[in-house]
């Protein structure tokens, strides 16, 4: 005798009037509207972080959460904004500043360039000393000393 259990379920003998009971297989649930067993849509319960997207899969808990393009994390408890400056996209002496949707590279004070390439300015080139003094470049502010000749 065949029993009307649908696919994705297992038929067991029972003491009920029909003499059997249909039990949905793991990963499936009873669908009263269809009268059978349907795959559980774990994404309906919104298990993911608000900045992540839920995708159904056939392994593990039945879903994966992936953070959006500009974010990283487990997708469930957190999606953190990726700092574009973390990858050090600017030149060695440049300053990276994260902006909405990207970053900018600038040269710090005492340097000149386009932000990708920055070269140290020699403060003595601006002739800051008296005409009877000699300029010598040094580390630290202001970057030079004047010594009488």
- % pLDDT > 90, the chain: 34
CA dihedral sign, ordered 100, 102, 104, 105:
positive
Phi-psi region of 88 (alpha: psi -120 to 50; beta: other; left: phi over 0): left
Distance, first Cα to last Cα, the chain: 115
The pLDDT value given to residue 48: 96
pLDDT digits (tens, 9 = 90+) for 36-77: 888 888 899 899 999 999 999 888 788 999 999 889 999 999
pLDDT band at 3; cut points 50, 70, 90: low
User: CB-based contacts of 41: which residues, under 8 Å, 6+ apart?
Assistant: 56
pLDDT band at 1; cut points 50, 70, 90: low
CA dihedral sign, ordered 122, 127, 132, 133:
negative
pTM of the shown model: 0.53
- Residue 38 pairs in a beta bridge with 29
């Amino acid at each position: 005798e065949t029993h009307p259990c649908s696919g994705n379920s297992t038929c067991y003998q029972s003491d009920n009037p029909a003499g059997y009971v249909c039990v949905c297989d793991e990963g499936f649930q009873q669908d009263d509207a269809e009268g059978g067993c349907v795959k559980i849509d774990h994404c309906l319960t919104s298990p993911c972080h608000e900045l992540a997207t839920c995708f159904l899969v056939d392994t593990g808990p039945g879903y994966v959460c992936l953070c959006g393009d500009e974010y990283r994390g487990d997708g469930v408890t957190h999606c953190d904004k990726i700092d574009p400056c973390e990858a050090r996209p600017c030149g060695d002496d440049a300053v990276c500043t994260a902006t909405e949707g990207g970053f900018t590279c600038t040269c710090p004070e005492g340097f000149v360039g386009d932000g990708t390439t920055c070269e140290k300015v020699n403060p003595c080139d601006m002739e800051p000393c008296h005409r009877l003094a000699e300029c010598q470049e040094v580390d630290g502010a202001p970057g030079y000393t004047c010594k009488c000749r």
